Amino acid sequence: MAKSSKRSTLDKFGTWEVLEDGSLFETSNNYHITPDRFNEPDWWSFFRTDPSHNWGDYMKALFRACEVGKIKELNMKMSDE
């Protein structure tokens, strides 16, 4: 029997799911973020300014995903200025 390619959801925060591999999936926008992208300094800021994403739920999910993936530090660039 073939293994299912669907990942298990560990936690859910609004529309954001934390998956067993430590990645994030947003169900409303079908957006998947793998843990290797968490340390890119500016990709995440899009979610802060886009009203279709709930910032509070996103941050909770991001921190939980970091726990799952044993990521202890994030590099978050606030602006290009």
For 16-45, the pLDDT digits (tens) are: 999 999 999 999 989 899 999 988 877 677
Q: Within a domain: residue 26?
A: no
Tell me whether residue 47 is in a domain: yes
Number of domains in the chain: 1
Residue 49 belongs to a domain = yes
Residues sharing a CB contact under 8 Å with residue 80, sequence separation 6 or more, in sequence order: 42
41: domain range? 31-81
Identify whether 73 is part of a domain.
yes
| Predicted confidence (pLDDT) at residue 1 exceeds the cutoff of 70 | no
Q: In this predicted structure, what is the pLDDT of residue 81?
A: 59
Quote the pLDDT of residue 79.
65
The tens digit of pLDDT for each residue in 34-80 reads 999 988 877 677 777 787 788 899 999 999 999 999 999 888 777 66
Is residue 16 a contact partner of residue 43, using CB atoms and an 8 Å limit?
no
In terms of Cβ atoms closer than 10 Å to its own Cβ (0-12, 13-18, 19+), residue 38 is buried
